Amino acid sequence: MSERVHEQEAVLPSQWQPIETAPKDGTDVLIAEYGDVAIAHWDRFGRGRWLGPRDNYGQCEIMQPTHWLPLPEPPQ
């Protein structure tokens, strides 16, 4: 996990929202799962699951997050 994510987590702990309030339209968000942080999105094709980064075989990791944050704006 990158140090940048660790720094952001340390700065924004009170802004974490319950996963039930996360967007379910396929938008990438920052999720917390069992103490780890990753970028994921809701599978909007009706499978009812959170999908994380793709592995070496092109498969998305199925996530079970508890909290989320919107992604920060990219630098200009």
> Does residue 12 carry a pLDDT above 60?
no
What per-residue confidence (pLDDT) applies to 4? 47
Segment 6-11 mean pLDDT: 48
pLDDT in tens, 36-68: 888 999 988 867 888 888 777 777 787 889 999
| Beta strands, E only, 1-76 | 17-18, 29-33, 36-42, 50-54, 60-63, 67-70
Contact predicate 41/22, CB 8 Å: no
Q: How far apart are CA 40 and CA 54, in angstroms?
A: 10
